[in-house]
A and B are shown apart, each in its own frame.
Chain A
Amino acid sequence: MSAPKSHLETLPRSVQFLLATAVVGLALFPLMGSDYALQSLSRMMILAIFAMSLDLLQGVTGLVSLGHAAYFGLAGYALAFLSPASDPAALWWTLPAAMLFSGAAALIIGFFVVRTHGIYFIMVTMAFAQMVFYLFFDNRALGGSDGIYVNIRPASGPIDLENKVTLFYVCLASMLLVYAFLRRLLWSSFGRALVGIRINEHRMKAVGYSTFGYKLSAFTLAGALAGLAGYLWGALNGFVNPELMGFHMSAHAIMMVILGGMGNFAGAAIGAFVFEGVLHWVKDLPQVGGVRLGDHWQLWMGLFIVAVVILAPRGVLGLASSLLARLRGEGRAK
Chain B
Amino acid sequence: MSATTPNSAAASTRSTGGDTVKAAAGLGEVLLSARSLTKRFGGLAANQDVSLDLWRDRIHAVIGPNGAGKSTLTNLLSGDLPPTSGTVMLGGHDITGHPPHEISRRGLGRSYQKTNIFLPLTVEENVRLASQSRQRHRPWNPMHWVDVATGQAAVAERCERAIELAGLTERRAIVAGTCSHGEQRQLEIAMTLATQPQVLLLDEPLAGMGVAEAERMVELLLRLKADHAIMLVEHDMDAVFTLADHLTVMVNGQVIASGTPEAIRRDAGVQAAYLGEEH
Contacts and interface: CB of A to CB of B under 8 A. Distances in A.
Interface stretch (B10-18, B87-95, B146-154, B164-172): B146-154
A5 B145 contact: no
Interface in B57-92: 78, 80
Interface string A189-222: 1111101100110111111111101101110110
Contacts of B145: 184-185, 188, 190-191, 221
B238 to A, nearest CB: 29
Given A199-B118, A203-B116, A209 B101 contact: yes
B110 interface: yes
Interface in B206-223: none
B139 A217 contact: yes
A231 B113 CA distance: 51
A4 B129 CA distance: 16
A207 B129 CA distance: 9
B140 A189 contact: no
B279 interface: no
Interface in B105-149: 105, 109-110, 116-121, 125, 128-130, 132-135, 137-140, 144-149
A213 to B, nearest CB: 5
B104 interface: yes
A205 B99 contact: yes
A127 B150 CA distance: 39
A6 interface: yes
Given A207-B130, A217-B139, A189 B149 contact: yes
Contact of A203 (B118, B132, B144, B149): B118
B104 A208 contact: yes
A189 B137 contact: yes
Indicate the member of B80, B125, B129, B148 with the most A CB atoms within 10 Å.
B129
Indicate the member of A181, A184, A192, A214 with the most B CB atoms within 10 Å.
A192
Contacts of B54: none
A187 B109 CA distance: 26
A253 to B, nearest CB: 22
Indicate the member of B104, B120, B128 with the most A CB atoms within 10 Å.
B120
Given A206-B116, A207-B194, A190 B139 contact: yes
B149 A188 contact: yes
A206 B105 CA distance: 9
B144 A208 contact: no
Indicate the member of B78, B128, B133 with the most A CB atoms within 10 Å.
B133
A262 to B, nearest CB: 13
Interface residues of B, number: 39
Contacts of B105: 208
A207 B133 contact: yes
Please classify the interface of chain A as helix (H, G, I), strand (E, B), loop, or mixed, using the class held by over half of its residues. helix
Interface in B183-238: 191, 194-195
Indicate the member of A4, A193, A202, A206 with the most B CB atoms within 10 Å.
A206
A204 to B, nearest CB: 8
Contacts of B101: 205-211
B132 A4 contact: no
Contact of A217 (B119, B125, B140): B140
B100 interface: yes
B146 A188 contact: yes
Interface in A1-45: 4-6
A206 B104 contact: yes
Given A205-B101, A206-B78, A199 B120 contact: yes
A217 B128 CA distance: 21
A217 B133 CA distance: 16
A188 B147 contact: yes
Nearest to A213: B139
Given A4-B119, A196-B118, A203-B118, A189 B104 contact: no
A210 B152 CA distance: 20
A6 B137 CA distance: 26
B120 A205 contact: no
A196 B129 contact: yes
B122 to A, nearest CB: 11
Indicate the member of A187, A207, A209, A221 with the most B CB atoms within 10 Å.
A207
A209 B120 CA distance: 19
Interface in A134-191: 181, 184-185, 187-191
A211 B100 CA distance: 11
Nearest to A206: B100
Indicate the member of B110, B138, B152 with the most A CB atoms within 10 Å.
B138
Contacts of B116: 200, 202-203, 206
B139 A214 contact: yes
Contacts of A196: 118, 129
B100 A205 contact: yes
5 contacts: A4-B119, A5-B120, A206-B101, A207-B191, A217-B140
Given A193-B132, A199-B120, A207-B133, 7 more contacts: A189-B132, A191-B149, A192-B129, A203-B191, A204-B133, A205-B104, A209-B133
Q: 9 closest A-B pairs (Cβ-Cβ)?
A: A6-B120, A208-B104, A208-B133, A217-B139, A214-B139, A192-B149, A207-B130, A189-B144, A217-B140
